[in-house]
């Protein structure tokens, strides 16, 4: 069976965020035990790591949470296992889910040109708004340049409460050369999902965040999940978010999330991300035809051997009986936070989060790459 196209049954996920201690509801014997999960968290904190980290493993048998480091470097407050945090590009699976729901309702055609829904927005050589499709946006095969390649983090740090319009961000990216012809390559671009959010609004007449709340957050009871628009704070228990532009940490917790928008502006928690990923892969949010579209993936060219569907990425894992078919998930980076989330086809869920981004350095980058597969696929 090709894991890119299968419909997983009983998917689950694991979350790594920021806090201190190990707690558990009854955990399945195959899940990483307290010592193993503690090792994952310890690898993310310390002198060369983030101020804090949290790991949560969840499957049908229970939930195990490990936390380490601190939520606030001034007060040394431990991270609450219930913490909420900015999820960055993990917003993209939520946006893709809504677009696919609208496709199932006949309100969006995946292979229709972007121009149909956003007339005149995607300009450039050869009328590329007429040549690239909605599907290519969701799968990062449009060739559009990434807006983040043409913005400096310092620009946001200088005015973190500034409001950004999606069209404004798109217009920063579009004057730059295309990476490739639409459909002729793969290249991750936040510009794609800013446009996808605009397409949701064009098709429904409502803000993309309202559609996510109506179609995903409320039906699943995701009480820790928000599309915050301009609200700069993180409601409820949360760690401080930090960047390290030079030697010292800078607190960037209060941030206007419109700078991420439909590409990365949401807030959630470990338990909510677990529930969301499980619901997607179990077919609770999408019809079978649309779930097949989401999980039909193409190679990314990354050294991990991963393949990207519509808003979810499949990653192979060697020498793991738990992840023998790999896992589906997504990365999420936003100023102050770095998150990784994944789900297996056999009933386990995972997400990884630290409260430092960017500026962690090579050691933390390496630890983050290993943390999700270790938590999700370890024994």
Out of 21-25, 42-46, 214-218, 348-352, the most confident range is 214-218
Contact between 25 and 63 (Cβ < 8 Å): yes
Query: In this model, does residue 291 exceed pLDDT 60?
Result: yes
When pLDDT is cut at 50, 70 and 90, the band that residue 33 belongs to is low
Close Cβ partners of 270 (under 8 Å, ≥ 6 residues apart):
15, 16, 17, 54, 56, 65, 81, 83, 351, 353
Give 259-272 pLDDT, tens digit per residue.
999 999 999 999 99
- Residue 129 pLDDT level (bands cut at 50, 70, 90): low
Reported as a single tens digit per residue, the pLDDT across 46-66 is 888 999 999 998 888 788 889
For residue 92, give the nearest of 204, 288, 227 by alpha carbon.
227
Section 186-196 average pLDDT = 98
pLDDT digits (tens, 9 = 90+) for 321-336: 889 899 999 999 999 9
For 69, phi and psi rounded to 5 degrees? 75, -155
CA pair distance 360, 229, nearest whole angstrom? 27
pLDDT at position 29 is: 35
**Is the confidence at residue 4, as pLDDT, over 90?**
no
Q: Identify whether 2 is part of a domain.
A: no
* pLDDT at residue 297 in the model: 98
Interatomic CA distance for residues 80 and 371, integer angstroms: 19
The CATH number of residue 137's host domain is: 3.40.710.10
Examine residue 235 and state whether it is found in any structural domain, yes or no. Answer: yes
Total count of domains within the chain: 1
pLDDT of res. 11: 43
pLDDT at 142: 96
- The pLDDT tens digits of the residues spanning 202-252 come to 999 999 999 999 999 999 999 999 999 999 999 999 999 999 988 899 999
**Is 7 a member of any domain?**
no
| Residue 275 lies inside a defined structural domain of this protein | yes
Domain-embedded: residue 288: yes
Judge whether 192 lies within some domain: yes
Is 5 inside a domain boundary?
no
Name the 3-class secondary structure at 74: coil
In this structure, of 8-17, 77-86, 278-287, the range with the lowest mean pLDDT score is: 8-17
Q: Do the domain assignments include residue 3?
A: no
Q: Rounded to whole angstroms, how far apart are CA atoms 195 and 147?
A: 11
83-92, 318-327, 349-358, range with the lowest pLDDT: 318-327
Looking from the CA of 99 toward its CB, the CA atoms found within 13 Å total 34
Question: 358 lies in which domain range?
Answer: 12-377
List the catalytic residues.
Answer: 89
**Is the pLDDT confidence value at 123 over 90?**
no
Mean pLDDT of the chain: 89
Which pLDDT belongs to residue 124? 66
């Amino acid at each position: 069976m090709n894991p890119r196209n299968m419909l997983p049954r009983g998917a689950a996920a694991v979350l790594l965020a920021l806090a201190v201690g190990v707690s558990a509801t009854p955990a399945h014997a195959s899940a990483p035990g307290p010592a193993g999960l503690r090792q994952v968290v310890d690898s993310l904190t310390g002198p060369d790591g983030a101020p804090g980290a949290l790991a949560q493993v969840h499957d049908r048998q229970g939930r195990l949470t490990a936390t380490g480091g601190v939520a606030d470097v001034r007060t040394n407050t431990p991270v609450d296992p219930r913490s909420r945090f900015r999820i960055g590009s993990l917003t993209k699976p939520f946006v893709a889910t809504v677009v696919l729901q609208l496709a199932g309702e006949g309100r969006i055609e995946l292979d229709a040109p972007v121009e149909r829904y956003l007339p005149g927005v995607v300009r450039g050589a050869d009328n590329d708004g007429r040549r690239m499709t909605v599907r290519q946006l969701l799968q990062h095969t449009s060739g559009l340049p990434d807006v983040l390649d043409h913005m400096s983090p310092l620009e946001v740090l200088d005015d973190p409460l500034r409001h950004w319009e999606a069209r404004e961000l798109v217009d920063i990216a579009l004057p730059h050369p295309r990476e490739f012809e639409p459909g002729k390559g793969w290249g991750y671009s936040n510009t794609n999902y800013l446009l996808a959010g605009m397409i949701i609004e064009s098709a429904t007449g409502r803000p993309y965040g309202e559609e996510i709340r109506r179609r995903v957050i409320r039906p699943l009871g995701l009480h820790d999940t928000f599309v915050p628009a301009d609200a700069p704070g993180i409601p409820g228990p949360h760690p401080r978010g930090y960047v390290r532009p030079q030697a010292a940490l800078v607190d960037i917790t209060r941030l206007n999330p419109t700078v991420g928008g439909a590409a990365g502006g949401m807030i959630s928690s470990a338990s909510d991300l677990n529930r969301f990923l499980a619901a997607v892969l179990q077919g609770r949010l999408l019809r079978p035809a649309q779930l097949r579209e989401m999980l039909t993936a193409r190679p990314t060219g990354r050294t991990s051997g991963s393949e990207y569907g519509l808003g979810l990425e499949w990653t192979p894992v060697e020498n793991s009986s738990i992840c023998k078919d790999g896992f589906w998930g997504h990365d999420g980076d936003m100023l102050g936070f770095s998150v990784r989330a994944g789900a297996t086809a056999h009933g386990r869920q995972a997400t990884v989060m630290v409260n430092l981004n960017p500026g962690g350095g090579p050691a933390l980058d390496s630890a983050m790459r290993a943390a999700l597969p270790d938590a999700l696929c370890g024994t």
